[in-house]
Amino acid sequence: MSVQYVSRSQMFFWSCQHSLSGLESAVFLFKWLQSVAATVSDDPFTAHETNILDWVRALVEETRESVDLEEMIVHSYVESSALQSSQLCAIVLRIWSRVFGGNMMWAIISQIGAALEQLAELIEAESRLAVQ
């Protein structure tokens, strides 16, 4: 389902509890991706972890079809299959922030979207520092 469709129409039917549950899911996935990225050199992926990463990459690819990722400030990620889990952290946060950013009915939900966007920027800045 298109991110644009969900963020512009379906969010009006959700309550704040639905949105907070979505926030919890976004943070959980982000933290998991972050921990996997930090430990991959010491502990290789299990089959289940590989399946989950492939599923997340497929969702990013599906999102790419409905939303211009360049518009979401996602640069230099040509192939979703080549995405590393550390790169997926920022992309996943930006996708969730886009979903939350479309809600004009509940102001707090838009604030959550803005906070997720700022977190994605922080993660990308840390990644750039780590590379240098």
pTM: 0.74
Structural domain total, the chain = 1
Determine the average pLDDT of the residues in 103-112.
Answer: 76
Q: Is the pLDDT of residue 131 over 90?
A: no
Round to whole Å and give the CA distance between 113 and 93: 9
Residues whose CB is less than 8 angstroms from the CB of residue 7 and which lie 6 or more positions away in sequence, other chains included: 98, 99, 100, 101, 102, 103
Nearest C-alpha neighbor of 37 from the set 95, 88, 80: 88
DSSP letter (8 states) at residue 30: H
- The residue range of the domain holding 54 is 3-131
Round to whole Å and give the CA distance between 94 and 75: 12
Q: Is the pLDDT of residue 81 over 90?
A: no
What digits encode the pLDDT tens for the residues 30-76? 999 888 888 888 888 889 988 998 888 888 888 777 666 555 555 44
